[in-house]
Structure 1
Amino acid sequence: MTEVLDWIAIVLLLAGAALSFAAGVGLVRFPDLLSRMHTAAKPQIVGLALILAGIGLRLYPDPRVGVLALILLFQIFTVPVASHIAGRVAYRTGRVRSDLIAVDELQEQLDRD
């Protein structure tokens, strides 16, 4: 049974590393700030979750597995909020390319206010 859990942990670690690598490539390749922010937040969180699940399987009887859950919970709560705030700041300072935005709901709301 331990060998099966080790193989599952390896698969989870490799999948998480692949998603984190894809996020890094997206940061370099995407053309504008909003696309880069999306690529930094979404695959990175899922990649981290897979990596932490793989580590958790490997450390299973150890009581430190709960710390991995706290790390994931903290990341899930903070990364989207930070990304949202950074996106709003970038939008309001004019660092967003408006030609790449299909629907601009924020500008409509700012015009009303």
Structure 2
Amino acid sequence: MALGNRVKTLRKRLKLTLEQLSERSGVDLGTIAALENRDSIRSKFAPQLASALGVSLENLLGVTEAPDTSSQSARCREWPFSHIEVARILALSPEDRAEVEADLLYSLEKIERRSTKKSKTTKRAAA
């Protein structure tokens, strides 16, 4: 898949308009539209676009494959966090994303442990 097609695919996956991608990347809207429509294979704006789309430059250029997003666990049909835009997460550096993921996993495990304790207490009280 060439660069223009990758940009368009990622932009649509993030539900970004051309205008929004232009604002995030600092690349002129017409330049992005031309890049997508001509399905260009390279662009001097690739680093800015990759950053705005939340992927590595290598991934955007097709040097490395994108992670498989076809599995149910890799994608979310409905973003459950109304106060956090998914684009904000995707715009983070890989290190910052890993930190957010670790924090979220810690919080989930804490809540699950608390929920398990409540469940056991309720069962004991019923017995």
TM (normalized to structure 2)? 0.33
Please tell me whether Structure 1 or Structure 2 has the larger radius of gyration of its CA atoms. Answer: 2
Q: Which has the higher helix share?
A: 1
- Of structures 1 and 2, the one scoring higher in RCO (CA 8 A, sep 6+) is 1
